[in-house]
Amino acid sequence: MSELDLRDKRVCVTGGAGFLGSYVIDRLHRRGCTQVSVPRKKDFDLRDRAQVRRMLEAVRPDVLIHLAAVVGGIGANRDNPGSFFFDNLVMGAELIDQARLLKVPKVVTIGTICAYPKHTPVPFHEDALWDGYPEETNAPYGIAKKALLVMSQAYRQQYGMNAIYLLPVNLYGPRDNFDPASSHVIPALIKKCIDAREAGHDFIEVWGDGSPSREFLHARDAAEGIVLATERYDDPEPVNLGTGEEITIKALAELIAELTGYDGELRWNPAQPNGQPRRRLSTERALDRFGFRARTALADGLKETIVWYEHQRAGA
């Protein structure tokens, strides 16, 4: 297995100032990579071809890691399907095409678990990506990101671009987004439980009926997987990044309530959408191709995230 030495490489990380990006930057620095560029939204609109080209010409990266995305939970996806589709598709397409024109040696694109069909057999194998339509509430986002896999493979075939594509499962951890309007399930539940605990509320409302399952990957582990793939993986096939373990939303909510010290009722609202019925990944390809295995147990990661969030609240 050949390995790319990142210490002397110029690495550009779109979305590097975001949640996952901050962990990727940390991993790169731990590898001794000193030439890391993070384009900021205020300086470059990645949907604009001229601005993407100007950014890449300024950096001249040896490696482009594309993390930037417009994301959110079920509610945000349901309210913004058009912008989620357009922004994610165009950002990725412009970056990949300009990287081709400027002959960037390696492009790493981060996809989404939402690209899988709604009723994918568990565990999700990468070969099942095209076996059906994604879950409806986040299909526009998932399809936009999946189109970048097709583009990466097509550009490899026609232009010889070394473009790889990774599929991280649901992420969580310190520094996550806790805004109720756009957060995912773990930060949303942590905030609800702590708010209710401090206000003395008897119950919190939780969307759906609690029956769906999800798999959660600490953002620190996801970042390690991304950097390992950047160093060691050069093939066209997409690769899952996950733990291979699932938990029902009901069990997750009960665990978060316990860890936050909230002893009120969890009141389920089945009028709100459940989302995809189950999620659990096959993780063999990542282990086989570049030696990635997640290290953080869910309970430990949740405790760490809760402690971080409570410190942030106290500071605020």
Among all residues, which ones are annotated catalytic?
141
What stretch of H or E contains 164? strand 163-168
Residue position matching structure tokens 């070394």: 162
Question: How far apart (Å, rounded) are the C-alpha atoms in residues 189 and 205?
Answer: 10
C-alpha 159 chain-centroid distance: 28
Task: Provide the 3-class DSSP secondary structure of residue 166.
Answer: strand
- Residues 165 and 156: their CA atoms lie apart, in Å, by 12
Cα first-last separation, the chain: 47
Which SS3 state, helix, strand or coil, does residue 205 take? strand
* β-bridge partners, 13: 65
Q: Residue for token digits 């995305």?
A: 69
Q: Measure the CA–CA gap between 170 and 116, rounded to whole angstroms.
A: 13
Q: In 17-80, where does DSSP find H-type helix?
A: 19-30, 49-59, 74-79
Q: What token pair was written down for 149?
A: 């896999």
- Evaluated on CA atoms 121, 122, 123, 129, the torsion sign reads positive
Other CB atoms within a 10 A radius of the CB of residue 118 amount to: 17
User: Do the Cβ atoms of 93 and 145 come closer than 8 Å?
Assistant: no
Find all residues with CB under 8 Å of 63, minimum gap 6, and list them: 4, 6, 9, 10, 11, 12, 104, 105, 106, 107, 108, 230
Q: Could you tell me if 96 and 151 are in contact, meaning their C-beta atoms sit under 8 angstroms apart?
A: yes
